[in-house]
Amino acid sequence: MARRVKPPRGRSTRSGTALPETSLVFNVVAKDERTPGVFRFVIQAPQIARKARPGQFVILRLNEHGERIPLTIAHHDEVRGTLTLFVQAVGKTSIEMSRLKSGQGILDIAGPLGRPTEIERFGTVVLVGGGFGIAALWPIARELTAAGNRTIALLGARSKNLLLLQEEIQAASSEVRVATNDGSAGTRGLVTDLLEQVIREESPVHRVIAIGPVVMMKAVCELTRASSIPTRVSLNPIMIDGTGMCGACRVMVDGKMRFACVDGPEFDGHLVDFPGLENRLRGYLPEERKSREQFTRVEECRLEEATPPRS
Ligand SMILES: Cc1cc2nc3c(=O)[nH]c(=O)nc-3n(C[C@H](O)[C@H](O)[C@H](O)COP(=O)(O)OP(=O)(O)OC[C@H]3O[C@@H](n4cnc5c(N)ncnc54)[C@H](O)[C@@H]3O)c2cc1C
Ligand code: FES
Range list for CATH 2.40.30.10 in the chain: 22-113
Q: Considering the entire predicted model, what is its pTM? A: 0.86
**Strand-pair category, 38-44 with 24-35:** antiparallel
The ligand with the least distance to the CA atom of 280 is: 1
Q: Residue count of the chain, please give it.
A: 311
The ligand with the least distance to the CA atom of 238 is: 1
Give distance in angstroms: CA of 260 to centre of ligand 2: 7
The single-letter code of the amino acid at 190 is L
Share of the chain above pLDDT 90, in %: 76
Residue 106 pLDDT more than 90?
yes
> Over 183-233, what HEC string results?
CCCCEECCHHHHHHHHHHHCCCCCEEEEECCHHHHHHHHHHHHHCCCCEEE
Nearest CA to ligand 1 atom 4: 71
The ligand with the least distance to the CA atom of 130 is: 1
Sign (positive or negative) of CA dihedral 13, 16, 19, 23: positive
Give distance in angstroms: CA of 147 to centre of ligand 1: 31
Range list for CATH 3.40.50.80 in the chain: 124-282
Q: How far apart are CA 290 and CA 174, in angstroms?
A: 45
Atom of ligand 1 at shortest range from CA of 135: 8
**Strand-pair category, 18-20 with 75-77:** unpaired
CB of 44 within 8 A of CB of 82? yes
CATH of 22-113, one of 1.25.60.10, 1.10.3720.10, 2.40.30.10, 1.10.10.60: 2.40.30.10
Nearest CA to ligand 1 atom 5: 71
Tens digit of each residue's pLDDT (9 = 90 or more) over 196-249: 999 999 889 999 999 999 999 999 999 999 999 999 999 999 999 999 999 999
Nearest CA to ligand 2 atom 3: 244
| CATH for the stretch 124-282 | 3.40.50.80
Tens digit of each residue's pLDDT (9 = 90 or more) over 1-16: 333 333 333 333 333 3
Nearest CA to ligand 1 atom 43: 236
Nearest CA to ligand 2 atom 2: 246
Residue 192 pLDDT more than 80?
yes
